[in-house]
Amino acid sequence: MFNYRDVLGPDGLIARRRANYERRDAQLAMAAEVDAAIRDRRSLAIEAGTGVGKSFAYLVPAILHVVEDQVRDFSEDPDGAYFPFDAEGESDAEKTAPDVPAPSPDAAEEYSEDADEPFRVESEESVNADGVTPVEMRRVVVSTHTISLQEQLFEKDIPFLNAILPFEFTAALAKGRSNYVCRRRFHNAAKAASTGTLFETDLQKELTRIANWLDDCRDGSKSELNPTPAGEVWNEICCERGNCLGRNCKYHDECFYIRARKRLETAKLIVVNHALLFSDLAIRGDGNGGSILPNYDVLVFDEAHTMEQVAAEHMGLELTQSSVDYLLTRLYNDRTNKGLLVDEASQFKIGLDREIFIDAEKTVDDCRLRADAFFSDLNDWLDARPGSNGRVMEKNIIPNRLSAGLVSLREQLRRCADSLDDLNRRAEYVSACGRVDAYLLAINSWLEQSQDGFVYWLERASGRKSVRIEMRSAPIDVAPILRAQLFNVVPTVIAASATLTTRTHGSKKSGSDRGQTPPSDEPRAIAAEPDKETPETREAFEFFRSRVGMTGSRARALGSPFNYREQMTLVLAQGLELEGPNREEENERRLFAALQSYIEETEGGVFALFTNASQMRRATDALGRLLARENYPFFSQSDGAPRQRMVQMFKESSRSVLFGVDSFWQGVDVPGSALRNVIIVKFPFLAPEQPLVQARIERVKEQGGNPFRDYQLPTAILKFKQGVGRLIRTKSDVGQVVVLDERVHRKSYGRDFLRALPDCKLRVDVFN
């Protein structure tokens, strides 16, 4: 029967299509594991190193699953079925393949479901008596963390496979509704702006630019706009829940969001980001039978090393002072006399209708005073605890002065909505009511600490004019939640990443003998069939699987096809730290001097990865001007430039130097000679004083574990592997990874970090 080997094998469809095709045993092994997991309806955690070709390894079995009926027909009569290649090796489908393998937007005309209603979660049995998933239930969702991987999948990998495979399938890219422009809201905003009741002059220019874009945009999503529109403008024109008229909207047949939902409804392969996936899980878990995504029986969670972090972020609570201020200002800005209520009041010169909106303006002013007092009280609470990490251990730490005002505002907005016959204008007030409801729920939940097993804390963020308060919460342990809402519900979950293991397999070389074993002449053969899980594999995956609740799943670790013995040198700096009291400034000076020397050694082409933003700023101050004077294009994340822009500028010169913190340790791809030196300034341990980390450490202690060995160290090792992984992205890449952290020599756990790395050349530099 036609299977993944017929596509990925040495004589498969890809090999026939690409003249430079190289056999990848690890890719075949991964595809075999994914295929078996889908067929056996079980979950799989799989680590596959850089260069394996993970995306094809899971996409091919996933696609063959959703077109299984076509595969069966093809296998029974291959001579009579369509075969994609012509004599020149180019597929007929590829000659005319669309940019996006999805249904025509015109299909939205048949869509009758209200865009504000979620998809309904079906309760029918998803497997028949023969153990076969019905055709209509076969759907695969692929979730990614980074935009770059989403773009690779949807703009390159999926269209290519759609072109060469002898089967038909549809794919869609799922985005949150706020990513799409709403034509109705855009025209309302343009009208209000023209009367001077909405935007200042500079923001009105944004509307003109967006109007020109609307004439020929492809899918109406914000990602098509370059540069990205101002947030204040986009928030007024994007699709939002509670602000949709459905078929009553004059733009219904042209609605970008409805067309996108129709594509999701018919697609068999859906690409999402982790944030949208967890939002979908939250709706599915509320017991009301709805969802953002249609039903699916297979989930591929790529970049799975981020699963715990992203799950905690999106399962928790966040309410910021800035978001409350924004809503109130959007309704009524007393300084500029602009806003939604002003625009509405201007429709009436005198009479009761006008008074309703004037009263609402007064209520907004009252709420603004209450909000200022509420967040000022929270700020005072922090000030009264100098040195505090912001963690809140008690309920109702301040009087709730805000909720009563929000309740009054909600009632006033409902009065405004009820007074309007125009559904178009009324929808804005219904949406605002929904936002107020959400704020009320968040405030009360946070003050009451209503969710067991959550940690609650306050943060300060720097605003344009003052410090702003942020209220946050997150689950201490996401494993039980994910087990209940994901792993026990979705038949097959594939968790894939280049970094999931925290122990090495096979050889137990120490840090001192690493790199002394000569490389073998041939790469190690990897079985292209699922094999038995070993005790070493179970140990290596124990941390990841326990943290995300993936117990009972199968695990498999596959190496990289790259020859790290030839491509990468590991450089360990020694002697940078002087012992004794009051040595901090001198040790940092020595650290920065070593950093400079390693930059000069490779003449740039450097990523310097920091764990502390303050230290990165000091390094930027100490070395920035010197590097610029020596003709090194220099970029520092402390300057506030967007990450993608920094990466793009970095690639434009072979001498570039970039200083980055958290977001540069993972998800950044710079293949080729532009990046040839990755410098790890410090091991990436999580700050133990951070409230969520602190709570997790306490939880490990309560359970009788060792917080450092059981949580802090393996978390740091996974991130360390991600940072090192920035260097070698292709078979031709060559370079060095420099570790400046003295603990690699002084601490026993230094060897644990080294064991996590591929076998490579080793160099120790001793500083006097």
Please, which pLDDT band fits residue 229 given cuts at 50, 70 and 90? confident
Please, which pLDDT band fits residue 544 given cuts at 50, 70 and 90? very high
Q: Are residues 383 and 417 in the same domain?
A: yes
Stretch 304-308: mean pLDDT: 95
Predicted pLDDT at 126:
52
| 8 Å CB contact between 542 and 504 | no
Task: Round to whole Å and give the CA distance between 561 and 539.
Answer: 23
Angle between helices 423-448 and 321-331 (to 10 degrees): 150
Which of 475, 509, 538 terminates a domain? The answer is: 475
Is 190 domain-assigned? no
Please, which pLDDT band fits residue 111 given cuts at 50, 70 and 90? very low
Predicted pLDDT at 75:
74
Q: Are residues 651 and 602 in the same domain?
A: yes
Q: How many folded domains does the chain comprise?
A: 3
Which of 500, 534, 558 terminates a domain? The answer is: 558
Is 448 domain-assigned? yes
Q: Are residues 449 and 517 in the same domain?
A: no
Q: Are residues 623 and 649 in the same domain?
A: yes
Which of 451, 475, 499 terminates a domain? The answer is: 475
pLDDT tens, position by position, 131-181? 556 666 799 999 998 777 888 899 999 999 999 999 999 999 999 899 999
pLDDT tens, position by position, 184-194? 999 988 887 77
- The string of DSSP letters for 355-386 reads HHHHHHHHHHHHHHHHHHHHHHHHHHHHHTST
Closest alpha carbon to 495 in 543, 449, 440, 567: 543
Q: Are residues 417 and 535 in the same domain?
A: no
Task: Round to whole Å and give the CA distance between 83 and 226.
Answer: 40
Q: Give CA torsion, residues 286, 292, 295, 300, to 10 deg.
A: -100
pLDDT tens, position by position, 230-278? 888 899 899 998 898 888 899 999 999 999 999 999 999 999 999 999 9
Q: How does the average pLDDT of the chain come out, rounded?
A: 87
Task: Round to whole Å and give the CA distance between 531 and 731.
Answer: 27
Q: Are residues 408 and 495 in the same domain?
A: no
Q: Are residues 637 and 504 in the same domain?
A: no
Predicted pLDDT at 215:
85
Q: Are residues 631 and 745 in the same domain?
A: yes
Task: Round to whole Å and give the CA distance between 566 and 760.
Answer: 7
Percent with pLDDT over 90 in the chain: 66
| 8 Å CB contact between 697 and 712 | yes
Predicted pLDDT at 517:
34
Percent with pLDDT over 70 in the chain: 86
Q: Are residues 112 and 65 in the same domain?
A: yes
Q: Are residues 456 and 546 in the same domain?
A: no
Q: Which CATH number do you get for residue 653? A: 3.40.50.300
Is 464 domain-assigned? yes
pLDDT tens, position by position, 482-540? 999 999 999 999 999 999 999 743 334 433 344 333 333 333 345 566 667 788 888 99
Please, which pLDDT band fits residue 290 given cuts at 50, 70 and 90? confident
Q: Within a 13 Å sphere around the CA of 714, how many CA atoms are in the beta-carbon half?
A: 22
pLDDT tens, position by position, 687-729? 999 999 999 999 999 999 999 999 999 999 999 999 999 999 9
Q: Within a 13 Å sphere around the CA of 414, how many CA atoms are in the beta-carbon half?
A: 9
80 has pLDDT over 60? no
Stretch 590-600: mean pLDDT: 97
Q: Are residues 679 and 579 in the same domain?
A: yes
Phi, psi dihedrals of residue 104, rounded to the nearest 5° = -65, 145
Range of the domain at 329: 317-475
